[in-house]
A and B are shown apart, each in its own frame.
Chain A
């Protein structure tokens, strides 16, 4: 397993103790007793919630990040008169509210959902600004100036739901189990998905397509984001930076431009290993003239050998460096800068000086994460040297290559970060906008007008920008070169688990279309962080991932104190070290968040010191320390977006969490935080059971099933299934039913189910399943259902549909009206569902073509304002219900609200109760879906002597190829469960810890209750009454009804609508389209010689059209109705016209070709 930055602390698990010594050590080890650490989990989730990552990140943004952004851009200075300025002193986000007609009202999420509003809060700033008139300026201050509205994440610290208990939530119309973590934008719930990114500010070594080794750093600082690449091509090192027009800049020129003119210094910075120097040689040559003789090279080699052998030989060095003359003639910083200036592309730089430009690039763009004080580029040179060293390590030893797919090299961007990016962009745009406006005012100022800066601040940029991005999901931030689509999705509300699963989903950084296997493969480093099962099938397979149950995503932490701490713990500052010293064999580089702090001589001691501080709570719990022996570095990370998870600390082979701790937890004296604070548990990025703890073990897993995500946790015994089956199941998860009439709690539960509350919001039923073949209607995974079970409510579900209507206002002061229905007239029958107010009444049964709103619109809606309209000025514009025939729907709810433009809107919720029918889809929890093949009355169903009759019969052929042993265990576990009255458990990997019942124990229970140990029963046929020859495997399995129901798909048509353009029948069920006889069907008919059928299908029943064809020119003419004859428009006569039938699409093609200057001519022959 690769060891890297964030998998810190995992030092010695990979080398197991040699077997000979085990016994001794085992005997010497203290006696351990297994402590049930499971209780930590509910405690953890109580503290953290299931979507904490989103909430944390948003809270961080709202409380900290937003202030930082404003602090970094706090001045708007007029470019005309620099003394006129505006300064932002503070920024804060208020309570969610909305202002309509000057009245501010507090907002509640439920009202936003119902009335298509955005759940947002005002952003308020405190400002200090200059205003005044007639040339004399006054400085004044203002507080709580409104600059825009920020959409608020539900249950975040700015949300009204924050910290509310169940009763209060119910009062606000919120479900207490709803996790929050999403936004409501224009009435739809939007999730800002977690984005996966390559980590910022870290050196990543990899190869490009040509096999060249690259060291790349994606830098990100408050002001700029840039990517710096150093590439080894044909043994020479180049710098790639996209502000330079030439793709490649020799690295030595760049180094020289930064003021490190001496090659010796460069070589020294790489350390004294001759291998490195040898590799650097070709790059140095780049700056040497090729014509210079071998002597130079030779002397250089001499220098190398001398310097590596520790004999200072300055004289010789000087000689050889004097000899050399650069190929480009570049020896000094000035020359380098000049050379580079010619390569600079259009780069907007505040300082217009020539030299300044390149210097500015090196200061701000090149390795932007490394900060430069004054013009001291030494830290950047050092950084470059480290990059080059890493490249050379990679050349000498392929292992040093970084794995881009490694989770430690990934950062997760959460909603807070994404919103902050967007906000920063919008805020800056607003500032430029305001500046422009100020300049405009100042330049055309009539002396008398008063000038007030603060008035200009009110702009819709921020409000609109945030709302637009969230509702479309497009993050177009040009400033940061970010153009991403599909960042937000409508929250999946089909099932509770679907919702949760949606919140933990991680979107990939790559496009889905790329045919690469690497990023899709399951990474060993995903262990415990990302769910190994939960990924979609198809193109996004392996790219879209889900968080595991206990994963936490970190937020940024203050670096300042950490840096001070590091220096206090004996890190030697980079600034005082020479290159030679930096790479001394006994020292390790200390790297904090990608920045080199300096070196340390005793890395392990340093790392453990930080660890101790972390465990005592002196340093943030998410700070990670890791000693990389290979790279001779100590990595410390405190940046945001790292994935981590809590583990129990093991000290000298003894778990720190003891029984009394757990007892205190159970008594409620202790919380999860106490465990953290007392250093019993810590967050880590990696031994399993206590009995496996060896003296080298440093950490202990809390529970093994936490490696799975929320969704995968629902599957009982997933470790007994073939792994793709689990994945299939998860894909199915979000396609759950709409609303089940009698939901049940699964008989075979898992700990995860209890933890996430699925037992409170079930989505399926425990069906007694007989695994046997029956009736032949059960082939290909079809299932046979018991009619009596359906009568009693099995699989019954409610489908909800939403209709809406707007009472529109028009520009001429008129508006639609809703009137009392006509109880007598011809439409009376269709208006039965209407109340006297002309709107459908809740509880009414509504049939297809029924009018649900009796609306009328004015005939004239434009022009001058009109008043006093009479009945005759209106035309009916009622809306009719378009349900399928034979569907019995009921109006469930009617909601009235006003939209943004103050129009009255009416929303209807239509409900339809459905019982399962042939063709509806069902699925167990093991990726085994099946459609209902037939429904059989109860008396025909097989029965046992006890009188048990199955609800559902499943064909045994579903088992062998799918190998879903978990399903079989679920069956017998469920059977034992019902017979003994205890819910059985099937948590993943739960057998050793007692969170899953063993088959042996289940069998024992079965035998106790008089069943066969193997779950099979002796069964009689319901049709003949004779016993069946085989014993039948029978018991309860949790089944879910899927949303694919026949009623939604069933479709046929006779004649119907046609497409305007081609006059062919429309396509698709929604448009009442026809069923296409496609190419293949056509081929089939041709093979049969069924020409008349083809003619009928493709022409007569599709788009027949009569055309006038000129026999002379072969072009299409037209029919002149006055003359009652066809006329050819090119021959200008009607003499040689024939009438024929063509498909309209053919005529269209001919005309389209004509429009492109191609003349298709028809040659007619007598037939």
Chain B
């Protein structure tokens, strides 16, 4: 066991970055690493979400639980979440989750007095803490005509009223999906496409064209001028084997050779808006590190058995 180090130094290359979208390459590591990162992003990066709702007046058509559930699913900006406490281990409030260290209070008051239906949206939620507010998706570049009004909670008719107090708490996606900051986290192996040029030359232009078209996604392109087939977008390949089957059907097996590069991944991360996509990745790495630290620190201790069970014993060489 000793001696040889399997340590690798993964590289990250960012391809595209927006507030809620991130595409990056992760190289020089294996699937376990990539998947761990993905899983942490989905399930363990903390955010804020409404967890407790006290309804004072609800004369809307939706019932209390329904509204509470809808409120819970509204993403709140949670840049502060990493530094906040979980209310279950908050000392300041004995875990009742009502103090400033672990919770944020919201108020909602809406009443429809006109004949038109009133849309109660996430923008009607008021809080004293400006760092934790419902995510605003409206594009600042677009004109602020006010027709984009946040996430609809309920619609009120004349005379209906909704008045409530809500408390947002820190949590993780493992407990409830509302705390998951990730809308989509996915990765793919980078495909390695090698066209057998010799064999390709034996095809007529028509055959080449039909072969190129056999792929449902636009991976290959046929250059009309040079009469050559080349790979235009390797990542568009969905591992569907269609081109390989087509080549076989044409009687040219081995026309193309596609393998997945086992150590490079292309990640796509979309955030719900609770935290920036880039921050999501960073937080995920941070949390992953903490988890690994916990493993490392307890490597030889007795608590390891409590904490990690068999895994701890395994790590101690048992």
Q: Footprint of B on A, CB under 8 Å? A: 741, 787-789, 791-793, 796, 798, 843, 890, 892, 911, 913, 937-939, 943-947, 1006-1007, 1010-1013, 1017-1018, 1020, 1022-1027, 1031
Contact = CB atoms under 8 A, between A and B. Distances in A.
Interface in B184-204: 184-189
The 4 A-B pairs with the shortest beta carbon distances in the complex, nearest first, are: A1025-B35, A947-B184, A791-B177, A788-B177
Contacts of A890: 63-65
Given A938-B180, A939-B42, A947-B184, A788 B216 contact: no
Interface stretch (B96-104, B234-242, B274-282, B303-311): B234-242
Contacts of B178: 791-792
A428 to B, nearest CB: 51
B55 interface: yes
Nearest to A787: B177
Contact of A793 (B31, B42, B69): B69
Interface of B: 31-32, 34-36, 38-39, 42-43, 55, 58, 63-66, 69, 73, 173-174, 176-178, 180, 184-189, 216-217, 236, 238-240, 242, 260, 268, 270
A939 B39 contact: yes
25 contacts: A787-B177, A788-B177, A792-B73, A792-B177, A843-B58, A890-B63, A890-B64, A892-B63, A938-B42, A938-B43, A939-B39, A944-B186, A945-B186, A946-B184, A947-B268, A1007-B216, A1012-B242, A1017-B238, A1018-B240, A1020-B187, A1024-B31, A1024-B35, A1025-B187, A1026-B31, A1027-B239
A946 to B, nearest CB: 7
A937 B32 contact: no
- Dominant SS at the B interface? mixed
Contacts of A911: 63
A947 B270 contact: yes
A1025 B33 CA distance: 9
B174 A1027 contact: no
Nearest to B58: A843
Given A892-B63, A946-B186, 9 more contacts: A789-B177, A791-B178, A792-B178, A937-B174, A939-B38, A945-B238, A1013-B216, A1024-B32, A1025-B187
B216 A1012 contact: yes
A1023 B35 CA distance: 8
Contacts of B187: 945, 1020, 1025
A307 B180 CA distance: 100
Nearest to A789: B177
B239 A1018 contact: yes
Contacts of A843: 55, 58, 64
A569 B185 CA distance: 81
Nearest to A1011: B216
Nearest to B65: A913
Contacts of A892: 63
Contacts of A792: 73, 177-178
Contacts of B73: 792-793
Given A792-B177, A1018-B238, A1025 B38 contact: yes
Contacts of A791: 176-178
A767 B216 CA distance: 25
Contacts of B43: 937-939
A709 to B, nearest CB: 32
Nearest to A1025: B35
B189 A1027 contact: yes
A1000 B151 CA distance: 39
Nearest to B36: A1025
Contacts of B268: 947
Contacts of A1020: 186-188
A792 B236 CA distance: 31
Contacts of A798: 63
Contacts of A944: 186
A1020 B32 CA distance: 12
Contacts of B186: 943-947, 1020
Contacts of A938: 42-43, 173, 177, 180
Contacts of A788: 173, 177, 180
A946 B185 CA distance: 9
A663 B306 CA distance: 77
B66 A1025 contact: no
B75 to A, nearest CB: 12
Among A911, A1010, A1017, find the residue whose CB has the most chain B CB atoms closer than 10 A.
A1010
Contacts of B63: 798, 890, 892, 911, 913
B54 to A, nearest CB: 11
A890 B62 CA distance: 13
Contacts of A1018: 238-240
